[in-house]
Structure 1
Amino acid sequence: MIKKTLLAASVVCAASNFAFADTLVIGAPMPSFADKWMSYLFEGINDFNDKHSDVEIKMTDANEDPSKMLNDVDNFIDAGVNALLVVPTDIAIVKPIAKKANRANIPLVIVNRLPDESAMKNVDAYVGSESIQAGIIQAESVVGMLDGKQGNIAILMGVLGHEAQIKRTEGNKQVFSQYSNIKIVAEQEGRWDRAKALQIVEDLLQAHPEINVIVANNDEMAIGALLAARKAGLTDADLIITGVDATPDALEYLGSGLDSTVFQSAKGQGYGGAEIAYKLAKGEKVQKMNWINFELVLEEQKVEYLYKYQ
């Protein structure tokens, strides 16, 4: 069970409101408790919290609202937390968060959404996976499945401007550009959303019946694509579909419409971020960039990766 602690300004007026005097307190503003993939990241944070009796990690829900997240950061700083652990609503918000943390002399760890270089100068540590690696692994799996046949590709992108959208797509194109048998026919913003992707792919398959590969920046859009393909009467043999994240939902579809996905360890990022924040709160030195590798997942690995979520 994920423990989600919503904190009002009246509650966070003093650090003693959080925990006993000898306990380190880490404030963790999160972008949305409703995000399915993020829920596994939160489990990683809670797992670390449960295993360490000398720390209390408090998460708040910004509901994807940057102004709410900034307010949560202010409340944690006013409460005198020992460190901040943040998954930002977007990378643009990292600069003002870093300014607030630096002014208060509170260590700051950013997780999952990589800030730009200028913002990272004022961040103590980052924990996440290199998004371009996911795009490269994903595209290479498509190249292997095509095995020299013509590939007419549609790319479903996440929210435009998100680091993951930019880099995963860049990784896709970096690989596809090396093959004369592969052509990118369409690129559409699916906003990470299954229903949005379903609608987009329904339209794409009518406008571009030659499409035989759909590459999605995440699994939710990949699932939307395969549901659209089924509605159009296409079989698994007609269309290669690949996603990123290896969520439990996506793993269930592997071999039944979804041909591959790329595992991004949400729990690993959450646990790793909590561990780095904990070390900084204790005054220990940490590495600034902490990478958790992506892994290709095919049908025969379904059970192995489903087990990771248990």
Structure 2
Amino acid sequence: MSKKLIGFQMLFVLLVIILAGCGSSEKDKKNIVIGAAMPVFDDKFLSYLYDGIKEYDKEHDDVEVKMVDAKNDSGKQISQVETFVSQAVDAIIINPVDTDAVAPMVDIANGAGIPVIMVNRMPDEKTMEKIYAYVGSESLEAGFIQMEKVAEMLDGKGNIGIINGTLGDEAVVKRTKGNKDVVQKNPSIKIIREATADWQRSQGITLMENWIQSGEHFDAIVSNNDEMAIGAIMALEQAGKRGNIIVAGIDGTPDALEFVKEGKLDVTAFQDAYGQGKGAIEAAIKAVNGEVVNDKFINIPFELITKDNVDEYIKKWEK
């Protein structure tokens, strides 16, 4: 074989390698990397939101989601967002540990030209102006329709306890305000206890046990979410004190719907966690592609659930 032919063959092989490398590089460039900074993985309701994000990730080969757990630590979440920025992700989804602490995270991302989508927990108006979109439900509405139904069931009078989620959360502030707006319209309804159970079923049990030991009489327990409401139900049942006490939650999780169907949980308000997660990552993709949203608040309305309509919501969770 002539030296010239060998030279041509070597040149051809080199060109193939270079072109293959370029093709791989071009393919890599098509991949969209989304950072998802989540508050805590150990949360029943939020697990469905995470499923909405993960399912989208699985169905789209050109999308990669890096999801991290802040373990309910705002400082840790800020550090995680900084890491996403250093990795030059294409967009960042944030479900903040504390909405009051989210502004620095948004500023860090904006400084690097990375769009931010917030989900489930709404930021203040100033921060809202700096993000691409917020995907979630109006918590004030949830607290209002929840308490309106409880007031109706109480015939406008009685003693209630309000169980708060993690203090400082936007959802806690607004859901509780919605509750109290209804109470103000019903002066014969008295709030005799209010305390936090940090969104957790186990803490809902402990809090309700303490309230039972106080000896006070409750006509209703109104909880910022289903998990704490379920905890309250368990504590009341274990103490033999359930009686006719009305218990209300918010979120409409599969566990809660079973409690509603069994007649144990009287009221809840459906919040489409899976839809929020899916909506958040869809908004992130739009941001990466340069699409403009007409309304930064992508609202997914709450819907009231009682035993009368629980079956239709159970079907929503069936896959």
TM-score (norm: length of structure 2)? 0.86
Q: Is 1:157 matched up with 2:189? A: no
C-alpha contact 2:106 2:116 (8 A) present in aligned 1: yes
* Aligned length in residues: 292
The letter of the residue matching 1:245 is: D
Deviations 1:142-188 (A, max 9, x none): 0221234x321111111211111111110001011111331211111
Q: Is 1:285 matched up with 2:313? A: no
Using the TM superposition, give the Cα deviation of residue 110 of structure 1 relative to its aligned residue in structure 2, in angstroms: 0.8
C-alpha contact 2:44 2:227 (8 A) present in aligned 1: no
Selected match of 1:251 from 254, 257, 261: 257
Give structure 1 regions of 4+ aligned residues with deviation exceeding 6 angstroms.
none
Q: Is 1:134 matched up with 2:142? A: yes
Deviations 1:38-90 (A, max 9, x none): 11001111222234343222212222222322222222212221111111121
Deviates more, 1:264-273 or 1:83-92: 83-92
What is the Cα-based RMSD across aligned positions, in Å?
1.9
Matches for 1:46-125 after TM superposition, within 5 Å: 46-125=54-133
Selected match of 2:247 from 220, 235, 241: 241
Q: Is 1:173 matched up with 2:180? A: yes
- Supply the distance in 2 between the matched residues of 1:117 and 1:226 (Cα, whole angstroms): 37
C-alpha contact 2:135 2:279 (8 A) present in aligned 1: yes
Q: Which has the higher helix share?
A: 2
- Supply the distance in 2 between the matched residues of 1:226 and 1:143 (Cα, whole angstroms): 19
Structure 2, unpaired ranges of 5+: 1-23
The letter of the residue matching 2:108 is: K
- Supply the distance in 2 between the matched residues of 1:234 and 1:190 (Cα, whole angstroms): 20
Using the TM superposition, give the Cα deviation of residue 208 of structure 1 relative to its aligned residue in structure 2, in angstroms: 4.5
The letter of the residue matching 2:118 is: I
Deviations 1:73-126 (A, max 9, x none): 222212221111111121133111111111101111111111122222322211
TM-score (norm: length of structure 1)? 0.88
Selected match of 2:217 from 202, 210, 233: 210
The letter of the residue matching 1:261 is: T
Deviations 1:184-226 (A, max 9, x none): 1111122212222222222323435321110011111111111
Matches for 1:23-34 after TM superposition, within 5 Å: 23-34=31-42
The letter of the residue matching 1:105 is: G
SS for the counterpart of 2:171 is helix
The letter of the residue matching 1:257 is: K
SS for the counterpart of 1:164 is helix
Point out the structure with max Rg over C-alpha: 2
- Supply the distance in 1 between the matched residues of 2:37 and 2:103 (Cα, whole angstroms): 15
Structure 2 match to 1:309: 317
